[in-house]
Amino acid sequence: MKFHAIIGLMALILLMFFSSCKKKMANSSETLIVEHVKTGNTELTIQGPNFNIPVDSSISITFNASLDTGTVRKSLFLKRNGTNDVIFGITFLNSFQTIVLSPYIPLDPMTNYILQIGSSLTGSAGEDFAGTSYSFTTTNRKLTLKSVTLNGAEFLQHKDPSNIDFKNVSLELRFSDPLDSSEYKSYFTLSGSNLLSFSLSDSSRKVTITNTSPLPDYTHTWFTVSSNLKSAKGFAFDGFINSFYTSLDSTYKFPPLSDDALLSLVQQQTLKYFVDFAHPACGMARERNTSGDVVATGGSGFGVMGLVVGINRGFITRDQGLTQFGKILTYLETCDRFHGVWPHWSNGNTGKVVPFATQDDGGDLVETSYMVMGLYTMRQYLDSTNTAEKTLIQRINGLINGVEYDWYTQGQNVLYWNWSPDYGFAVNVKIQGYNETLITYVVAAASTTHGISADVYHQGYAQNGSIKNGNSYYGYKLPLGQPYGGPLFFTQYSYLGLDPRNLVDIYANYWEQNTHQSLINYSYCAANPHHWIGYSTSSWGLTASDNPWGYAAQSPTYDLGVITPTAAVSALPYTPDQSLNAIRHFYFILGNRLWGPYGFYDAFDVTKSWWASSYIAIDEGPVVGMIENYRTQLLWNLFMSCPEVKQGLTKLGFTY
């Protein structure tokens, strides 16, 4: 019995021993494995080669199991050129499966390094590690910008800040490495100024730049650091560029004037385009200040109304004005006409049509209607008891009666814009509202020789009521037309003569239409949803004009960042406070850029640092006429006094 007990005890001990050995053998079979080693987004491989490793990146090593943290420090080595140890900090992530090595100073550029992971490293459960190493070569070190500020505000990432004080600009740049104090300045440029002050501080890592003279105001200004800049140790730099907009110099550019004197000045200066710059042979208005001999029918019609204003205000003498008008009449009587209709453009010397487009080389009914409006207005201003002026009246009537509006219907209930002897009605553009062409239907209905019926207006222009809108924008209900109203010339061209104050038909109250469209245009510019530079409550007005890319009809739904002075100025009867504010701003504040020999230049775009040098007849004309309608209603009263106009309006169903 004793023997059997001893044998059993020994068996139990052996069982426990083998069980322990088996467990130990099982644990020993578990080994640590490196899953990946990364520097930034680059994964290192044992086989290599591992090139272009950033000098300022940390190194992360991820294992298949948690680590015994007590064995990590003595197992990791980072050696420069195989010998010199790099000092680094250690961080544990991912439940101690990942080690992050962060060198205390950036690695040297273009240098070979070895990361050694020794076999003394173990897992938290006693797993063994066989040891391994990774070789890599750092990239050539870059000089980098750590921060840039402009007048104390962040400028490294913030693009195109605005309203930067043009008198006081301070730029501070902090670099990753010291610069060479003897040759860094030439690599920094600020457009608009060569007078800059430089200082270097913070161990030659911080550059401070200030202007020693004012920069151009209200200007897109570029700041550039050349890519040729290098650190004191020769590290290359990728370059830096950003821009900002300087603030507006709000000082007056001209002596103060009363509002009344300012309005007279604007009218008189603008009238010079139609008098001093008129074509010398025919007295007509040139299409624009660069058009040479090309004269414009519609712009000249506006110019005729300007002559009335000029005579009445004493800007020119009556004899001067009527002498020029007599030349215009002679030209209109002898130049190319197409069923009584003048072309859009013609040559002021020869009277021959200048094609507006390939198939548009004949009559332009809309341009003609602007001339007819001007002729009616001048006729009413002339003194029928004066023999010479009575002759002018008779000549005017002959021209007006010769316009064959009925020909331009093609027998349909709509007017057509163009007709050519070579192409007929190939352009095929119907004159349909709502837009700038209401006057075309009014003078067509007023014609006593080639008039149109009311159906032509209602079915053609009004499209049986399709011109109605009825929606509100910025709190203003718009009776007619496209969303937000369109360009402001819709409210101006027809209404140089046509008085909208009491003008009503079944489609709209036209004073409400024009006033609300003008207020919508103003409100849109004040809201400035595209954040253009240069838009404000004193700088507004979207209409057809030149722009940095050519010419376009700008509006709230086609906003290119271009302000056109004629838009706000000629809205004066509808928005007197807002328009006067704009006129003051355009003249007193922007006048050094915007005021020229014939009044306000055509347009400007501060965002693009573009200021037009152009004048266009059809933009100039409404300035003279609509300011006068605000001041005395002279042109409205004259045009509306025409018996034919009254008859035509009544025929079309208007009250006025």
Which three-class secondary structure state does DSSP give residue 632?
A: coil
Average pLDDT of span 618-636: 98
Contact 559, 483 (CB under 8 A): no
Average pLDDT of span 241-268: 98
Residue 92: band (very low, low, confident or very high) from pLDDT cuts 50, 70, 90:
very high
Domains 28-140 and 143-245 share a fold: yes
- Mean pLDDT rounded to a whole number for the chain: 94
User: Does pLDDT of 28 surpass 80?
Assistant: no
Phi, psi angle pair for 299, to nearest 5°: -60, -35
Average pLDDT of span 488-516: 98
How would CATH label the architecture of 28-140?
A: Sandwich (2.60)
Which three-class secondary structure state does DSSP give residue 264?
A: helix
pLDDT in tens, 138-184: 988 889 999 999 999 999 999 999 999 999 999 999 999 999 999 99
Chain-centre distance for alpha carbon 514: 25
pLDDT of residue 225: 98
pLDDT of residue 284: 98
Residue 52: band (very low, low, confident or very high) from pLDDT cuts 50, 70, 90:
confident
Q: Which residues contact 499 (CB under 8 A, 6 or more apart)?
A: 629, 633, 636, 637, 639, 640, 656
pLDDT in tens, 103-131: 998 888 888 999 999 999 999 999 999 99
Average pLDDT of span 363-369: 98
Residue 83: band (very low, low, confident or very high) from pLDDT cuts 50, 70, 90:
confident
Dist. CA 283–CA 325, nearest whole Å: 7
Query: Which tokens is 492 given?
Result: 């101006």
Residue 3: band (very low, low, confident or very high) from pLDDT cuts 50, 70, 90:
very low
pTM: 0.83
Dist. CA 67–CA 79, nearest whole Å: 22
Residue 16: band (very low, low, confident or very high) from pLDDT cuts 50, 70, 90:
very low
User: Does pLDDT of 77 surpass 90?
Assistant: yes
Dist. CA 651–CA 290, nearest whole Å: 42
Contact 224, 189 (CB under 8 A): yes
Which three-class secondary structure state does DSSP give residue 113?
A: strand
> Minimum mean pLDDT among 111-120, 256-265, 386-395: which range?
111-120
User: Does pLDDT of 26 surpass 80?
Assistant: no
pLDDT of residue 11: 47
The CATH topology of domain 259-652 is Glycosyltransferase (1.50.10)
User: Does pLDDT of 8 surpass 80?
Assistant: no
| DSSP-derived secondary structure for 304-334 | HHHHHHHHHHTSS-HHHHHHHHHHHHHHHHH
CATH of 143-245, one of 2.30.29.30, 3.30.450.20, 3.30.420.40, 2.60.40.1220: 2.60.40.1220
Which three-class secondary structure state does DSSP give residue 448?
A: coil
Percent of the residues in the chain that have a pLDDT greater than 90, as a whole number: 90
User: Does pLDDT of 24 surpass 80?
Assistant: no
| DSSP-derived secondary structure for 503-538 | -B-SS-BHHHHHHHHHHHHHHHHHH-TT--TT-BTT
User: Does pLDDT of 21 surpass 70?
Assistant: no
pLDDT in tens, 406-458: 999 999 999 999 999 999 999 999 999 999 999 999 999 999 999 999 999 99
What is the CB-side half-sphere exposure of residue 9 using CA atoms within 13 A?
6
> Minimum mean pLDDT among 86-100, 129-143, 293-307, 467-481: which range?
129-143
pLDDT of residue 56: 82
pLDDT in tens, 202-216: 999 999 999 999 999
Average pLDDT of span 562-574: 98
pLDDT of residue 192: 86
User: Does pLDDT of 1 surpass 90?
Assistant: no
Average pLDDT of span 360-366: 98
For the chain, what are the domain ranges? 28-140, 143-245, 259-652
Q: What torsion, rounded to 10 degrees, do the Cα atoms 204, 210, 216, 217 define?
A: 120
pLDDT of residue 22: 40
pLDDT of residue 14: 44
Residue 18: band (very low, low, confident or very high) from pLDDT cuts 50, 70, 90:
very low
pLDDT of residue 6: 46
Average pLDDT of span 625-646: 98
Which three-class secondary structure state does DSSP give residue 140?
A: coil
Of 404, 410, 480, 415, the residue nearest 441 (C-alpha): 415
Of 434, 534, 556, 430, the residue nearest 487 (C-alpha): 556
Dist. CA 587–CA 595, nearest whole Å: 7
pLDDT of residue 431: 98
User: Does pLDDT of 17 surpass 50?
Assistant: no
User: Does pLDDT of 5 surpass 80?
Assistant: no
